[in-house]
Structure 1
Amino acid sequence: MHTDSFDHDAALQACARGDRQALQRIYEHERRYLFGVALRIVRQHQRAEDVLHDAFISIWQRAASFDPARGEGRGWIFSIVRHAALNLVRNHLREVSVDEDAALSIYDQAVMANHATTDDPFERRVELGRLGDCLGGLEPGRRACIVMAYVDGCSHGEIAEQTGRPLGTVKAWIQRGMRALRECMG
């Protein structure tokens, strides 16, 4: 998991003041994880790069709208990337042949993004509370795999490597765990 003391909130506030170096620091610190999130959604390397580029332009332009009282900076950054990727998929869905696993992944990302970005703070707390309860009901290994995939942006291969589990097991755990979350959040 991604755990260090990088201050995303301060970096975003510096971006809002016009500090381009702050944006560069965010990029250097998060690009691997953000690219992973984009790639999982759009499923094409070049499109994921395009999403990341567009998302960083958006982060730069919208940094002043970041409100630390509404959530953490890292989550705000990741939500911009997720939304950019989902928008690209929605805009090009007719052009892209999507298999069932990819479609489930897109749906899962949309559900997670929707639950994480509601405008009503009370509703967001209720939804996040429900999500937390639903995640808490999963077996710990499955829960960890889902968090690594959807929060940290790790690929299935990276999760398998980090957890020491076979790739097929990781894929199955994530698929079954997301199905259980969809049913629980229902």
Structure 2
Amino acid sequence: MEINIWGMIGLYGGVIGGLLGWWFGRQKARKKRGLDELYYHIWQKARSYSWYVTLGALYVFFTLLNFGIELSTAMVLGILLLTHVASWGIIGIILTINMSSAAPLQPSRVKVGLFVFITSIIVFTIISILTTNWLFLLFSIPPNLIALFTALTPKRKDSEVTY
């Protein structure tokens, strides 16, 4: 049995880093009175929506299995966990911006951005699985960043120029 030391450092270092970030963030929010009913409502709603995204990811994996593609358990569970946590965070950010911003996000921009984001992840994940080369997932970063900026940036009204 071979132990991958960097894998263990990444696995448990990620958990420790995530818990520390969560704890410090809650301490900061508590000092600024940010942990109110709206906060809990937004993140409960985001968690609920993220289960729908996770369900979609499950259907993608079952479809790949029906096409005869071999998938490792660790890879599937890792991608499902990443899908759930990332969608929870992204949906939570969108709901927070919409609830607390004077200029809410345009639903059409959010839908287009999320569609591009999800499609990019699915396409590059399938390509990575088919080619057994995970580096194809790196190609999904630019379209994902563009999609997130499109979805999370409110449309600004051009100021009228009067002469």
The structure with the largest alpha-carbon Rg is 2
Q: Quickly name the TM-score band, shorter chain normalised.
A: 0.3 to 0.5
State TM-score, norm by structure 2.
0.35
State TM-score, norm by structure 1.
0.31
